Structure 1
């Protein structure tokens, strides 16, 4: 029975290797691998038995089985919003209290409406920058996502660059308008992506730790 693996190194086939021997070859996600019983070469990122190897390196591939659903993502968002609100109440307590009073007015004045808009915009920008910072660090996600055991990754399972994380979070403007419709595809999309995820080519996965 053929249980040998082969890999391409500088376009040259090397092997055969046992699985253990192959794992000692300093594989990359783009390393081309020929698995036992297969006649087609494929990237290492598509070989299931290598997933654990890459996870040890901090690479979490998005798969059908680990994509996060809408509800756990919503819970993580609510947690982040709650934590951010607490932070704002300490940083700008008097302003938040005064503004909250105007939100209870049924017919606000133009000045109050402008203040509401400015506050909502500032909150969005602050949340976007906070998420960008967290997603581009080894945390791979905000505190809310961390507590819900979620991680934001690219198609190769890698941590997001600052640029991609920034694109993802500011693209939420499109997902938010109108009526947050851009978040709804997460409910039925096979890849569990909102519009902002599609734009940035990112995924949110569940992980064990």
Structure 2
């Protein structure tokens, strides 16, 4: 039975290797590999028997089987809102209480409406910075996502750099307006991506599958 693999190293074909020998090499996601029984070369990131190899190195490829659905992402979102609310209650309790007491829901004046808008925008920015920081660290996601065993990755399964994480979370603000409509495509798109995921080319995966 043919169980030999070949790789391209600096444009040169090397091998043959058994799977065990292949796993002992320093492979990258874009290393070109020729698998047993195939005539076409593939990037290592597309070869199922190498998924566990890369996961051990903190690389989680987005696949049809591990993409996070809308409901688990919604749960993570509410967990993060709860965490942010706790933080705000500790560091800005007096301001939040004063704002809530002074705001007349039935007939708000212009000054109150502007103050509430400023508070809402500050909350969105705080959430964006919080998520950017978490997603660009080895956590690969917010505390809420970590509790739900989710991770945010790019198309190669790598954690996001600060720039891409910031881009993703800036556009998440737009996905939230109006009425969080930008999150709804998670329900029907093939890759379960919200608007901000599509723009930043990112994926939210489950790490327990």
Give the TM-score normalised by structure 2.
0.97
- Compute the displacement of 1:182 (Å): 1.1
Report the equivalent of 1:86: 86
Over the residues paired in the alignment, what is the CA RMSD in angstroms? 1.2
User: Which residue in the other structure is 2:3 paired with?
Assistant: 3
Distance, in Å, in 1 between the alignment partners of 2:177 and 2:105 is 24
SS of the residue corresponding to residue 37 of structure 1 reads: coil
Structure 2 unaligned spans of 5+: none
Give 1:177 shift. Answer: 2.5
Which residues in structure 2 correspond to 1:71-150 (within 5 Å)? Answer: 71-103=71-103, 105-150=105-150
1:99: Cα distance to partner? 1.4
Structure-2 separation of matches of 1:4 and 1:179: 54
Q: Please identify runs of 4+ aligned residues in structure 1 that moved more than 6 A.
A: none
Q: Is the 8 A contact 1:102 1:108 kept in 2?
A: no
Task: For structure 1, list consecutive stretches of 5 or more residues without a partner in the other structure.
Answer: none
- Quote the offset at 1:72 in angstroms: 0.4
Q: Over residues 100-143 of structure 1, what are the superposed CA-to-partner deviations in whole Å (9 max), with x where a residue is unaligned?
A: 22456221111110111001000000000000000000000000
Spell out the pairing of 1:1-209 with structure 2 (5 A cutoff). Answer: 1-103=1-103, 105-208=105-208
2 CA distance for matches of 1:185 and 1:103? Answer: 34
Secondary structure of the residue aligned to 1:62 is coil
Q: Distance in 2 between matches of 1:190 and 1:102?
A: 46
Matches of 1:177 and 1:117, distance apart in 2: 13
Could you say what secondary structure the match of 1:50 adopts?
helix
